[in-house]
């Protein structure tokens, strides 16, 4: 339930859920893939999100691995990029075709 509320807060307000102590999340929903790679990714990096690179095995398994976007995994129908902030929260961007179809944030649990 908490995850759904976070996604809703992100998609509708472009803000950050108060309980998820996280880096700023810029609005990127709906950008086309070219804009995302050029502007959306840069915006995430500027706001404190760091790419989570694919493992060496994942890189070797991919036909078209791009070193400029080491966090991006693409299949025939979609691409997934994952980032992490300083608080170990994870943000995942899913692109289907030319459009971002989903942005999801998973908050780390502080103990």
What pLDDT, on the 0 to 100 scale, is given for residue 50? 95
Measure Cα distances from 71 to 23, 83, 95, 108 in Å.
18, 7, 13, 19
pLDDT of residue 19: 53
- Take residue 85 and report the two structure tokens written for it: 């902030």
Among candidate residues 11, 8, 38, the one with its CA nearest the CA of residue 26: 11
Candidates 77, 111, 109, 110; CA nearest to 94 is: 77
Positions in the chain whose pLDDT score sits under 70 = 1-19, 21-23, 29-30, 63, 110-111
Predicted pLDDT at 10: 43
pLDDT value for 39: 82
């Amino acid at each position: 339930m908490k995850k759904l509320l976070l996604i809703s807060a992100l998609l509708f307000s472009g803000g950050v859920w108060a309980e998820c102590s996280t880096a700023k999340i810029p609005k990127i929903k709906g950008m086309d893939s070219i804009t995302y790679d050029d502007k959306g990714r840069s915006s995430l990096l500027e706001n404190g999100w760091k790419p989570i690179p694919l493992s060496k095995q994942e890189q070797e398994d991919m036909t078209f691995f791009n070193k400029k976007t080491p966090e991006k995994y693409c299949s025939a129908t979609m691409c997934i990029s994952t980032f992490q902030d300083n608080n170990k929260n994870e943000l995942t961007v899913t692109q289907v075709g030319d459009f971002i179809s989903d942005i999801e944030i998973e908050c780390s649990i502080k103990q």
